[in-house]
Amino acid sequence: MAGQLQREQIPWYPTIHAEQCTGCGKCVEFCRHGVFQAQDGRVNVVHPYGCVVGCAECTKICPAGAIEFPDQEAFLVLLKTLRQQAKASN
């Protein structure tokens, strides 16, 4: 479809602040898309593009507040720009 973006072109995925993360693994248990992985007492984002665009529910699950997503307003502006660029290139 003309102007449609591939998931890998959409920069929507979590960042884990290592200094805040306790390694509890609640995000790993919560996310059905395999975005997170716990290893050696730490949690990392291992499959960022598995994250559902617009979903940030894991931030509510994290007791340490260690998970962050892009600013939603700035992201929507960027997404609109990316869609326009994709449409113009077709």
Predicted confidence (pLDDT) at residue 78 exceeds the cutoff of 90? yes
Total domains, the chain: 1
Domain ranges, residue 66? 9-70
- Domain-located, residue 90: no
Q: H helices within 2-88, ranges in order?
A: 26-30, 58-61, 72-88
What integer pLDDT is reported at residue 50 of this predicted model?
97
- Domain-located, residue 31: yes
The structure tokens listed for 12 are: 């929507």
Q: What is the CATH number of the domain that holds 66?
A: 3.30.70.20
Strand partners, 37: 44
End-to-end alpha-carbon separation of the chain, Å?
9
- Domain-located, residue 4: no
- Domain-located, residue 64: yes
Q: What is the pLDDT of residues 49-60, one digit of tens each?
A: 999 999 999 999
- Domain-located, residue 40: yes
- Domain-located, residue 50: yes
